[in-house]
Amino acid sequence: MSRTHVTTTVNGDTVEFLCDPEETLLDALRDHLGLTGSKEGCASGDCGACTVKLDGRLVCSCLVLAAESVDRKVETIEGMADGDDLHPLQQKFLEMGALQCGICTPGFLVAAKDLLERNPEPSETQVRYCLAGNLCRCTGYDKIIRAVMETAEDMRGA
């Protein structure tokens, strides 16, 4: 079986790896690039724990072949904080305890960041719809939704 040589951009850095044709972008991030922030919850597009941005669009990295990512722009949870400075969403999730086991958290953060970039003033209903592809088995969602709403408010004030 021939392996594909992939050169692409992840969080602004050029990266290279070899992958099998069946491997997903999620496999490549975790196993070839050591970026284990993106999680595999279901591997079927349902849970959103593997959420990354691919050329500016939110996608489930479990439903992207690694070989498809040649010369694309991939953004993961690892690129969210600016060095030691957490993104306001990350800070708010910590302060409000919007996580328990944390498996869903990277996906929620990447998706919520995209949501706030597109819509700085979302209604609660919009937040709930936009994040419907991110499942959490622990928190019951309330704190997550509130953390996103409050961050939106803080960021508008800033």
Partner 1 sequence: MKYEAPDTVEAAVGLLSSAQGTARVLAGGTDLLVQSRAGMVEPDLVVDIKRIAGMDAITEEDGGFRIGAAVSGAQLGEHDGVKAAWPGVVEGVELIGSTQVQGRATMIGNLCNGSPAADSVPAMIAAGATVHVVGPDGSRDVAVEEVVTGPGKLSLSKGELIASVFLPKPEAHSSDAYLRFIPRTEMDIAVVGAGVALTLDDSGTVSAARVALGAVAPTALLVDACAQAIVGTTLDDAALENLAAAASAACNPIDDKRGTIKYRTKVAGVLARRAAVIAKARAGETS
| Chain residues in the site for ligand FAD (CB under 6 A) | 45-46
The minimum distance between CB 155 and partner 1, in angstroms, equals 19
Closer residue to ligand FAD (CB): 22 or 46:
46
Q: Strands across the sheet with 4-10, in order? A: 13-19, 4-10, 73-75, 51-54, 57-60
How many beta carbons lie within 10 A of that of residue 109, not counting itself? 27
Nearer to ligand FES, 97 or 120 (CB): 97
Task: Tell me which of partner 1, ligand FAD, ligand FES, none is bound by residue 14, counting a contact when its beta carbon lies within the kind-specific cut-off of 5 to 8 angstroms.
Answer: none
Binding of partner 1 by 131 (CB under 8 A):
yes
d(C-alpha 73, C-alpha 118), whole Å: 18
Q: Which stretch binds ligand FES (CB under 6 A): 11-19, 79-87, 98-106, 110-118?
A: 98-106
Decide: 66 and 6 in contact? Cβ < 8 Å.
yes
In the DSSP assignment, the letter for residue 3 is: P
User: Token pair of 94, please?
Assistant: 């910590």
Q: Contact residues for ligand FES (CB under 6 A)?
A: 40-43, 45-50, 60, 62, 99-104, 136-139
